[in-house]
Every structure is written in structure tokens, then in C-alpha cells.
Amino acid sequence: MNRAPLQGNDSVTDRIMLDTGPLGMVTNPKWNAAALEWFKAVLKAGDEVIIPEIADYELRRNYILENMSRSIRLLDQLKVLLTYMPIDTPTMAKAANLWAEARQRHKPTAHKHALDGDAILGAQARRARAVVATDNIGHLSQFVKTRLWADMGFPSDRKT
């Protein structure tokens, strides 16, 4: 299941992009047992699981700060085993548009001087044509199809 970095042009039916929350739940030593069970079931079912670079960055910086070397190793291993989607110029251009559109609708997702991770994740998910599995729909749902990972069910529940 070793996959090359995703460029945003593939067409796959079951694509799940992990937000920082669920990715952290499976790479942090304080495991979330339910999230880990769901994650293993998704992998077993063969759904394509995508790690967006923005989620990797958000987790990695905290793992480095807290000296969580085991979690960094797990992130690195998942980037090899799953589909890793790097941030590219077209994605950042789309993120800038999403950020501006949200502000024009008076629904900003971050301070106007902040790097807006939700807009970047939304742009990555749109390019990948993926649903984002998250633990907090919040602002992200204005950009892309987003579901709480716990509400997504197991793959066997989704396929009817």
C-alpha cells in the first residue's frame, strides 16, 4: 500500500483525508481506542487514506516541541504507508481564495494575519476530492465535505 504523493488529479471513490485531530489520535501515545479501531477498519477495507501536509505540520511542530519522538516516527511511517499530499502552489492559491471568500461572507476561520490551516486543508481536500475526517467540523465544513470521524461509521457500515 505504498503510494506516491498525491497530485490532486486521481479519481477514487472512497477517499478520506485526515484532519489533525484524528491523525493525532492514531499517532499520539495516549491512543484514542475508538479512533484507532476505526482507523484500522478503514485501512482494512481498502479506503484511500490521505495525510495532508498541513495536518502533518500542525502535529509535527507540537510533537517536536514536546519531544515526542515516538509520535514523530509514527507520522513518518504513516506518510510512507498511506497517501501523502504535499502542499503545492495551486493548492495555496485555492486556499487564498477560500480564505477571502470566507471573510467576504463574514465567516472567517482565523485571524486575518494568521496562516489559516482550515483554508489550506479545505483546498487540499478539494484537490483530492476527499471527505475530511475530523473531530471538529466547525469552520472547515464551509470549505469542503467534512464528517466527524466517529459519525462516519466503519467501512462495512457505509457500503450497502
pLDDT confidence of residue 113: 66
pLDDT tens, 86-112? 999 999 999 888 888 888 787 766 667
38 three-class SS = helix
For residue 3, being part of any structural domain is answered with no
pLDDT at 6 over 70: no
For residue 114, being part of any structural domain is answered with yes
| Mean pLDDT confidence for 13-23 | 88
pLDDT tens, 63-82? 999 999 999 999 999 999 99
For residue 160, being part of any structural domain is answered with no
pLDDT confidence of residue 114: 64
What pTM, to 2 d.p., does this model score? 0.81
| Mean pLDDT confidence for 3-28 | 71
8 or 66, which is more confident? 66
**How far, in whole angstroms, is CA 124 from its chain's centroid?**
8
Q: What is the dihedral of CA 137, 143, 145, 151, to 10 degrees?
A: 0
Q: Structural domain of residue 39, as residue ranges? A: 15-152
pLDDT confidence of residue 153: 66
102 or 49, which is more confident? 49
For residue 93, being part of any structural domain is answered with yes
112 three-class SS = coil
For residue 158, being part of any structural domain is answered with no
pLDDT band for 13, please (50, 70, 90 cuts): very low
Q: How many residues does the chain have?
A: 160
> What is the domain count for the chain?
1
For residue 137, being part of any structural domain is answered with yes
For residue 1, being part of any structural domain is answered with no
Residue 58's domain is classified under what CATH number? 3.40.50.1010
List, in sequence order, the alpha helices (H) in 2-150: 20-27, 33-45, 53-65, 69-81, 89-104, 117-128
For residue 144, being part of any structural domain is answered with yes
Phi, psi of 156 (to 5 degrees): -65, -25
Distance CA 16, CA 9 (A): 15
